[in-house]
Amino acid sequence: MRLDQGPTASFKDFAARMMSRLMQYYLSVNNQHLTILTATSGDTGSAVANAFYGLKNINAIILFPAGEVTLMQRKQMTTLQNNISVIAIDGKFDDCQRLVKTAFLDPALSDIPLTSANSINIGRLLPQSIYYFYAYSKLASNLEEAIFSVPSGNFGNLMGGLIAKKIGLPVQKFIISTNENNEVPEYLRTGNYEPVNPSKNSISSAMNVGHPSNLARIVALYKGTMDETGHISKIPDILKMREDLFAVSVTDEETKNTIENVYRKYGILLEPHGAVAWEGTKKYSGLDNNTKPGKPLCISLETAHPAKFPEEIRQILNFEPPLPISMDGLEEKPENYFSMDNNYKLLKDFILKNY
């Protein structure tokens, strides 16, 4: 399931666009105004920037770590302008996130209607349940049960799938495919949850998450309680979780081999996140005692376009990935963004002055 055909070539386009338009609708009905303030390590920022671009009643401020996003990711945010302000912070992603959190809690900004657009917002989850139905409707016959492999970081995408299953989509199993940040596969295996801290740097960089923000929701779906730090105060039905979910960790080495093998064997070009999902399906089908008899319908999710990861593709396959229409000509477009030290006072003054 290629979810990489949207305006920023990321599956995050689906949810960001639907949420932004829902927000605009309700704001205009109530004659209100809103400012989105969000931190990004790459893909979220470009999807959010594009989703809110040009909308009435809404401005967006996006913070990114100056040295940690790719040129194309930066250009997808900084070439828009209009109601989108982009700030390069001289720091890391965690610094950007800290600045955003401080702003939300600052009483001096309480008159400014600020909101985030991050992946725990239910408005990001609901739209993500729809493409599970769509893929199923295209591929299934006889209402068979499907298997979905979901490349996961903060588990928003998987949460969309779980909502689809709750609504009634016949799903036999969700394969949770993670990179070397293996806290969830370990949790399902042992029953003990231990965040990976600090998170590991894998080539599937959008999934470098050591403590997924939607995990508490998944635990709650199985009748448990987990707090924000990952502490479990009520144990979920882990047997039922294992029945519905198969979680697996994929190394960078395996990811690269998958990109190479899938291209050579099928002519399908994957990027690192989609390759993690693909490898997840292989690891699952290797355990034949887990699958029900017959040939299961298995759907692997590709969450970004390979052109967003040209260095990896070049290194593994020795050619330049073709650009999707949405990224064509992007490199030549003029950029406009602010640069800021990692200092909260500067961000606060910026917001007070401009919003």
Ligand X SMILES: *Cc1c(COP(=O)(O)O)cnc(C)c1O
Q: Considering the rule CB under 6 A, would residue 154 count as an interface residue with ligand X?
A: yes
Q: Considering the rule CB under 6 A, would residue 40 count as an interface residue with ligand X?
A: no
Residue 270 CB, shortest distance to ligand X, in Å, is 11
Distances (CA, A) of 232 to 105, 223, 226, 235, 244: 26, 11, 4, 6, 20
Q: Considering the rule CB under 6 A, would residue 75 count as an interface residue with ligand X?
A: no
Alpha-carbon distance of 188 to 224, in angstroms, equals: 14
Token pair 């448990």: residue: 224
Mark the segment that binds ligand X (CB under 6 A) among 135-143, 155-163, 219-227, 236-244. Answer: 155-163
Strands 171-178 and 146-151, bridge-based pairing: parallel
Q: Which is nearer to ligand X, 222 or 350 (CB)?
A: 222
Alpha-carbon distance of 66 to 45, in angstroms, equals: 13
Give the distance between the most distant pair of CA atoms in the chain.
64
Q: Considering the rule CB under 6 A, would residue 6 count as an interface residue with ligand X?
A: no
Residue 160 CB, shortest distance to ligand X, in Å, is 8
Distance of CA 255 to the CA centre of its chain: 18
Cβ neighbours of 319 (radius 10 Å): 11
Mark the segment that binds ligand X (CB under 6 A) among 146-154, 243-251, 321-329, 344-352. Answer: 146-154
Give the number of residues in contact with ligand X, rule: CB under 6 A.
16
Under DSSP, is residue 174 helix (H, G, I), strand (E, B) or coil? strand
Alpha-carbon distance of 166 to 162, in angstroms, equals: 6
Q: Considering the rule CB under 6 A, would residue 273 count as an interface residue with ligand X?
A: yes
Q: Which is nearer to ligand X, 176 or 351 (CB)?
A: 176
Strands (E), 1-142: 34-39, 58-65, 84-90, 114-115
Q: Which is nearer to ligand X, 151 or 230 (CB)?
A: 151
Q: Which is nearer to ligand X, 210 or 355 (CB)?
A: 210
Residue 305 CB, shortest distance to ligand X, in Å, is 9
Q: Which is nearer to ligand X, 20 or 119 (CB)?
A: 119
Mark the segment that binds ligand X (CB under 6 A) among 23-31, 152-160, 237-245, 339-347. Answer: 152-160
Q: Considering the rule CB under 6 A, would residue 206 count as an interface residue with ligand X?
A: yes
Q: Considering the rule CB under 6 A, would residue 304 count as an interface residue with ligand X?
A: yes
Token pair 């295209």: residue: 138
Q: Considering the rule CB under 6 A, would residue 155 count as an interface residue with ligand X?
A: yes
Q: Considering the rule CB under 6 A, would residue 303 count as an interface residue with ligand X?
A: yes
Which tokens belong to 220?
């709650």
Q: Which is nearer to ligand X, 201 or 354 (CB)?
A: 201
Q: Considering the rule CB under 6 A, would residue 164 count as an interface residue with ligand X?
A: no
Q: Which is nearer to ligand X, 65 or 153 (CB)?
A: 153
Cβ neighbours of 302 (radius 10 Å): 22
Strands 232-234 and 225-226, bridge-based pairing: antiparallel
Q: Considering the rule CB under 6 A, would residue 46 count as an interface residue with ligand X?
A: no
Q: Considering the rule CB under 6 A, would residue 312 count as an interface residue with ligand X?
A: no
Q: Identify whether the C-beta of residue 186 lies closer than 8 Å to the C-beta of residue 248.
A: no
Q: Considering the rule CB under 6 A, would residue 153 count as an interface residue with ligand X?
A: yes
One-letter identity of residue 110: S
Alpha-carbon distance of 16 to 119, in angstroms, equals: 9
Cβ neighbours of 127 (radius 10 Å): 17
Q: Considering the rule CB under 6 A, would residue 249 count as an interface residue with ligand X?
A: no
Residue 151 CB, shortest distance to ligand X, in Å, is 5
Cβ neighbours of 283 (radius 10 Å): 16
Going by C-alpha positions, the residue among 92, 49, 95 that lies closest to residue 74 is 49
Q: Considering the rule CB under 6 A, would residue 347 count as an interface residue with ligand X?
A: no
Secondary element (H or E) of residue 299: strand 297-300
Q: Which is nearer to ligand X, 79 or 157 (CB)?
A: 157
Given candidates 8, 9, 10, 48, which one binds ligand X under the rule CB under 6 A? Answer: 10
Q: Which is nearer to ligand X, 109 or 221 (CB)?
A: 221
Kindly list the residues in this chain that would bind ligand X in the complex (CB under 6 A): 10, 12, 43, 119, 151-157, 206-207, 273, 303-304
